[in-house]
Copies of this chain bind each other. A is one copy, B any other.
Amino acid sequence: MAFNPKKKHASLQDVASYVGVSTSLASFVLNGKGHLHRVSEEMIDKINSAAKELNYQPNIFAKSLREGKSRVIGVVLSDISNPFFSSLARCLEDEAEMKGYSIFFSSSDENHSRAENQISRLLSRGVDGLVFVPCENSESTVRAVLSTGKPIVLLDRYFPEIHCNYVSLNNKEVSRSAVLELLNNGFSHPGIIAYDTSLQHMRDRIAGYESAMKDSGKESEISVISIKESSLRSSMPEVLERFIESGVDSVLFATNNITTVALMCIKERGICVPDKLGVIGFDGGQAFELFNVPISYIEQPIALMAKKVIEIIMDEINHGSRMIHQIEMQGDIIVSQSSRRII
């Protein structure tokens, strides 16, 4: 059993007096600094076994109070029940755990004032650092955190005008490649359905689309539709309709949720994929595998992103912020054969 059910928690004092030494000596030894202080082997053994015997568990509050750090980081993301973010959460959790850190998660629901509240709650919880998936209008919140000196890393999104650590996708490039993929596979008029937001990652995804269109001599056929996140489901039917009527023959969906909702709508209305409409989604997931035909999608390296985020935040926590890390991870395009119109 990893925790002893019987006895009450013993304090450092208990261990020390059990062995007959001072608390300082016990503290040194139990923190592995015994040799550093040239404590005798014999003493070290005695103290360690006493600790085991008494089921000594250091009081983490006393430790945090004294040391001024908690070994906890706070993560604010959009919504932990969203598959993309819950996968990310799991990876973050695993990475943090490996380094002896725990995580407080909270959801912003893409509401900047909610996000700000969550952050201040986390801060008052004494987290050592923050990982933040910022939402629209979160600039001031990010600046405020930066000016406290508390380590922070933005995730998935970033603000180009703010000098702050971030880990995101190479949105523009990967979205550009996705559109070129469509064009190379027999589609002549791709469109993109994105969120109506000023957030840079979305702009980048749209910019990537536009860049591919321009470079393919299709500047005049650029077809972008941006939807408010709140009306995603309700406006999807009309949006798809409008696209098809205007001659769009394939679509890049700019997020995981957009993809899911669009596919649901496509299924419902009996729009044939890829004959009537080619699609490329964002992020894979079991869900898509239930769709009539396998679809192509942009895959984010979630595990790597999480690893990188934790690395950066750890670095800042342990060594102070010596440099800004701004990382764009490379997304992959997972191509499904059946999503091609012409082989």
* A→B interface (CB under 8 Å): 1-3, 5-6, 57-62, 64-65, 70, 79-83, 86-87, 89-90, 93, 97, 102-107, 116-117, 119-121, 123-126, 140-141, 143-148, 260-261, 263-264, 267, 285-292
Name 24 A/B residue pairs within 8 A (Cβ), A-sorted: A1-B116, A1-B140, A2-B120, A5-B145, A57-B123, A57-B124, A60-B126, A61-B61, A61-B64, A61-B65, A62-B65, A80-B86, A80-B90, A93-B106, A97-B121, A102-B125, A104-B104, A260-B286, A264-B286, A264-B289, A267-B290, A285-B287, A286-B287, A288-B290
* Known contacts A82-B86, A267-B292, then 17 further A-B pairs from the complex at CB < 8 Å, ordered by chain A residue: A3-B120, A5-B144, A5-B147, A5-B148, A59-B65, A60-B124, A60-B126, A61-B61, A61-B65, A61-B70, A81-B86, A86-B86, A86-B89, A97-B106, A264-B286, A286-B287, A288-B290
The 7 closest A-B CB pairs, nearest first, are A86-B86, A2-B120, A5-B147, A61-B65, A81-B90, A287-B287, A61-B64
Find chain B residues with CB under 8 A from A105 CB: 89, 93, 103, 105
CA of A264 to CA of B105, assembled, Å: 31
Interface majority SS on A: helix, strand, loop or mixed?
helix
Copies of this chain per assembly: 2
Give the distance in Å from the alpha carbon of A179 to the alpha carbon of B54 in the complex: 54
Given contacts A1-B144, A60-B126, contact A89 B83 (CB under 8 A): no
- Residues in B with CB closer than 8 Å to A3 are 119-120, 123-124, 144, 148
Partner of A125, one of B60, B83, B106: B60
Indicate whether A79 sits within 8 Å of B70 (C-beta atoms), given known contacts A102-B125, A290-B287. Answer: no
Are A81 and B89 interface neighbours, CB within 8 A? yes
A89 / chain B contacts, CB cutoff of 8 Å: 80-81, 86, 105
Residues of chain B with a CB closer than 8 A to A288's CB: 290
Minimum C-beta distance from A5 to chain B (A): 4
